[in-house]
A = this chain, B = another copy of it.
Amino acid sequence: MRNIKLVLQYDGTGYHGWQIQPDKKTVCGIFKQSLSRLINESPVIHASSRTDSGVHALCQVVNFRTASHIPAESIRTALNSMLPEDICVVSVENTGQDFHACYSAKSRMYRYTIRNASVPSPFDRQYSYHYPFKLDIADMAEAAEHILGTHDFSAFKSARGEKSNRVRTVFSAEISARGEYVRFEISADGFLTYMVRNIAGTLLEIGRGKIPPFGIKDILSSKDRCKAGPTLPARGLFLVHVGYGSDLLK
C-alpha cells in the first residue's frame, strides 16, 4: 500500500468545516467522494487540522493509503477536474509509511485577516472580517507577544471545546498591517477550538483601547473565557502552513 501525501486549498464558505458529518456538506466529505471514485477504494483520510465551519485553507495536508497505481501527478490532475471549484489539489506525492498528516505535524500556522476600512469591500467579504474602527497596531502587536510560549489557553477556548489538556505552545504570534488589511498570524503545536478567533477578537479589543496590551496576560492566567474578547467570524481565518520536522518554526 502506498502512503500518499496531498496538499489541498479550499474556500470554506460553503462547507460545514473539514470533518465528515452525516447529512452535512463538508470539505473532507466532498473530497473523499471524488478520491474514492478515482481510486475505486474508500480510504481513511487523515488531515493536519480539522478546520471549522466556514474556515479556509491555503495548505491543508492530508494523507491516505491506497493500492492504486495511478501516478501522483495524475491523481492531482484528475482530482482537480472532478472536485468543485472551491476545493483544489495543490500537490500529491508518495511519502514514507511513517508519515501521518496529523500526528507527524509539529506546528500549524493560522492567519486571521481584518479589513480595517470605513467602507466594506464586496470582493473579500468571504475572506476577511470588516472592522471599521481605528486600531492601534503597536498595542495589538505588543499584546500578541504576551501569548508566546507554553500556556493553559482555557481563556480562549470555545464553550463546546476541549474538556481537558488545554495547554498549547505558541511558537510565533505576529500582527502586521498593510494598506487596509491587518493580519494576525499565529503558529503553535496545536490549537483549541475557536482559539485563534478568540485571541483575534481579544486583540481587536486591545487595538480599540478597551483592554491595555498587558491585559492579555491577566486574561490568559485567569483561564476564564468570559474575560476574553468575542469570537471573530470564521470568514477571516485561513490555515496557512503545517510544519513537519525541520521547518518547525517557520
B9, A125: Cβ atoms under 8 Å?
Answer: no
B122, A10: Cβ atoms under 8 Å?
Answer: yes
A9 interface neighbour in B9, B11, B76, B123, Cβ under 8 Å:
B123
A249 / chain B contacts, CB cutoff of 8 Å? none
A122 interface neighbour in B88, B119, B120, B125, Cβ under 8 Å:
B88
B85, A120: Cβ atoms under 8 Å?
Answer: yes
B85, A122: Cβ atoms under 8 Å?
Answer: yes
A56 interface neighbour in B80, B123, B125, Cβ under 8 Å:
B123
A86 interface neighbour in B56, B88, B90, B125, Cβ under 8 Å:
B125
A10, B123: Cα distance in complex, Å = 8
A33 within 8 Å of B (CB atoms) = no
Within 8 A of B (CB), among A57-98: 76, 80, 85-90
Within 8 A of B (CB), among A142-158: none
A56, B122: Cα distance in complex, Å = 10
Chain B's nearest CB lies how many Å from the CB of A26? Answer: 15
A127 within 8 Å of B (CB atoms) = yes
A36 within 8 Å of B (CB atoms) = no
A122, B86: Cβ atoms under 8 Å?
Answer: yes
A127, B121: Cα distance in complex, Å = 13
Q: In chain B, what residue has the closest Cβ to A127?
A: B123
Chain B's nearest CB lies how many Å from the CB of A11? Answer: 4
A125, B80: Cα distance in complex, Å = 13
Chain B's nearest CB lies how many Å from the CB of A127? Answer: 7
B122, A80: Cβ atoms under 8 Å?
Answer: no
B85, A11: Cβ atoms under 8 Å?
Answer: no
Within 8 A of B (CB), among A1-42: 9-11
A10, B121: Cα distance in complex, Å = 8
Q: In chain B, what residue has the closest Cβ to A7?
A: B119
A9, B88: Cα distance in complex, Å = 28
Mind listing 6 A-B residue pairs with CB under 8 Å? A9-B123, A10-B122, A11-B125, A85-B122, A88-B119, A88-B120
Given A11-B125, A80-B119, 6 more pairs with CB closer than 8 A = A56-B122, A80-B120, A85-B120, A85-B122, A86-B122, A89-B119
